[in-house]
Amino acid sequence: MKNYTLLDHTADIGVEVWGNTKEEALAATVEAMFDLIAANDSVAELEEKKIAVSGADTADMLINLLREALYLFHSKSWLCKTCEILEMEEEKITARLQGEPYDAKKHHLKMEIKAVTYHTLKIEKRDQGWRARVIFDV
């Protein structure tokens, strides 16, 4: 089952993502973004990449994490299947991404995500875990 839903936004597309912990919500947002690019179940965990980012607050760190992850796709055509937050401090997070390079024979690219926006960005604690909301420019 998917742990995110698509958000209606007139020009662009957004996701609302759930996680049991803050870390899980952040990691699941990375996975959701890649699921929009190419179906997550078509990607295998063949390689590992580490990303470390900083930011003024959790929301800012989330955007910077997504930015770095998206750059892996834009510069190296690399697709992520799973993401795990290894370390989380007040202004810094380290994440491990597992996935593989894009292969036209195996993967179908569904959508071009141009960028990650700050627009209506949210990461908050709810009764049952954490919720993150991000809008992408497509």
Partner 1 sequence: MSEIKMERLDENRVLIPQSGKMRVPGIIYANDKIFELLKSDESAKQVANVACLPGIVKYSLAMPDVHWGYGFPIGGVAAFDMDSGIISPGGVGYDINCGCRLMTTTLTLDDIKNKIDKLTTALYQGIPSGVGTKGFVKLSGKDQKKVLEEGSVWAVKNGFGQPEDLEATEDGGIMPGADSEQVSARAIERGKEQLGTLGSGNHFLEIELVQEIFDEKAAHVFGLQKGQIAVMIHSGSRGLGYQVCDDYLALMVKHAAQTGIELPDRQLACAYLKSTRGQNYLAAMACAANYAWANRQVLMQQTRQLFEKTLQLSPRDLAMRLVFDVCHNIAKIEAFDIDGKQKKLCVHRKGATRSYPAGHDALPARYKSVGQPVLIPGDMGTGSFVLAGQQKAMEETFGSACHGAGRVMSRTQATKASQGRSITQELAQKGVLVMASSKGTLKEEMPEAYKNLQDVVQVMHDAGIAKKVARLKAIACIKG
Which residues does 104 contact at the CB level (< 8 Å), separation at least 6? none
Q: Which of 2, 20, 48, 77 is close enough to bind partner 1 by CB under 8 A?
A: 77
Query: Closer to partner 1 at the Cβ: 88 or 121?
Result: 121
- In what helix (H) or strand (E) does residue 49 lie, and over which residues does it extend? strand 47-54
In whole angstroms, what is the distance from residue 51 CA to residue 2 CA? Answer: 24
CB of 11 to partner 1, least distance (A): 6
Bridge partners of 14, per DSSP, are 7, 135
20 near partner 1, rule: CB under 8 A:
no
CB of 114 to partner 1, least distance (A): 4
Q: Which of 75, 89, 127, 128 is close enough to bind partner 1 by CB under 8 A?
A: 75
Q: Which of 3, 13, 84, 96 is close enough to bind partner 1 by CB under 8 A?
A: 13
Is residue 13 classed as helix, strand or coil in its secondary structure?
A: strand
110 near partner 1, rule: CB under 8 A:
yes
CB of 20 to partner 1, least distance (A): 26
10 near partner 1, rule: CB under 8 A:
yes
Bridge partners of 101, per DSSP, are 78
Q: What is the length of the chain?
A: 138
Radius of gyration over alpha carbons of the chain, in Å?
14
29 phi/psi in degrees, rounded to 5 = -70, -40
Residue ranges that bind partner 1, judged by CB under 8 A: 6-13, 37, 56, 60, 64, 67, 71, 74-75, 77, 102, 109-112, 114-121, 135, 137-138
